[in-house]
Amino acid sequence: MSNLINNLSLLVQRINWLSLLDIFIVTAIFYAFLQMIKDTKAVVLLRGMIILVLLLSLLTSVVELPAFSWLIKTTLPALLLAIPVIFAPEIRRGLERIGRAGSVFSLGQKTDQFEMQKTIQTVVAASSRLASKKTGALIIFQRSDNLKEYIQTGVSLKANITPELLLQVFYPNTPLHDGAAIIVQNELAAAACVMPLSASGILTRSPERQMGLRHRAALGISEATDAIAVVVSEETGSISIAHAGRMIRRLDADRLENILIAFYRPERISQTGNSFFQGLSNIFKSTREEDR
């Protein structure tokens, strides 16, 4: 016990501000990595890799197995090279977040707050009417990330947004019903657009099984870009919103409007560039337990 105390006191004496900075940087890197893979299939893979490494380390240290130890030391470099391949989607998503951090500051200058509020009110009114009729819909708000590649997969409209137009776009059994409508700079840029599907597995763990392709597409575009997706369920008529790979469900009109307006407040936009180590916005944090 005395040796342990002496070792700890010696360690404390050697700590300086450079050591603290070193520990902080390493901790921040691990925290950012864990935030990137949170609620994804990579968590299961990482857990399996950690268990496998611990078992192999325990086996080689307890029992003397020269041939087995040589095999582990030989294959370890190959395993390290395989890590970027296994975690490629999460690494790409993290690099995309870093890359868009600088462009987020200009978002407030490009967005007219008054016009944006009118657009939000239009989308909320249309979503409420679609929900009352249980008509499925997927509406995407472009933010700092350009959605041109997704707009090109649909039908170009470039029309002023009105509730009646959105109702017509998502009217059942029409050519524009399937797919997403994308809003760019307070304008309905295109409809029937194809969105990437989420592979995170969040929806498979949901207690509700009425969440299908529209919800997967909403999560997918929110994982690939910083866009905001509004989804109306065709099965239940419930309204959901997705951002940064997270989803809030069972929204009413007032709550939907408040959340969308909060995303476009100037003070919120200015804080986004400094939130690399934040997993979610305060809105999503406050409702995460409720949605589970």
User: Can you read off the two tokens belonging to residue 155?
Assistant: 């039908």
Residue 75 has pLDDT above 50, yes or no: yes
Range picked from 24-33, 49-58, 88-97, 185-194 for highest mean pLDDT: 185-194
pLDDT at 81: 76
User: Can you read off the two tokens belonging to residue 151?
Assistant: 């707009």
> What percentage of residues in the chain have a pLDDT greater than 90?
27
Residue 127 has pLDDT above 90, yes or no: yes
Chain centre to alpha carbon of residue 80: 26
pLDDT at 207: 52
More confident residue, 274 or 125: 125
Beta bridge partners of 251: 239
Say which CATH class 104-291 falls into.
alpha beta
**The residue count for the chain:** 292
Domain segments of the chain as ranges: 2-101, 104-291
Claim: this prediction has a pTM higher than 0.85: no
What average pLDDT does the chain have? Answer: 77
pLDDT at 99: 62
More confident residue, 287 or 184: 184
Phi and psi for 243 in degrees, rounded to 5? -160, 135
Q: What is the mean pLDDT of residues 232-258?
A: 89
More confident residue, 188 or 66: 188
Which range has the worst mean pLDDT, 53-67, 73-87, 96-110, 175-189? 96-110
Q: How confident is the model at residue 17 (pLDDT cuts 50, 70, 90)?
A: confident
Query: What is the per-residue DSSP string for 172-200?
Result: TTSTTTSSEEEEETTEEEEEEE--PPP-S
Query: Which pLDDT tens digit goes with each residue over 21-33?
Result: 888 898 988 887 7
Specify the amino acid at residue 104.
V
Going from the C-alpha of 71 to that of each of 29, 55, 57, 85, the distances in angstroms are 30, 15, 13, 22
More confident residue, 27 or 40: 27
Residue 87 has pLDDT above 90, yes or no: no
Residue 229 has pLDDT above 50, yes or no: yes
Range picked from 70-79, 167-176, 199-208 for highest mean pLDDT: 167-176
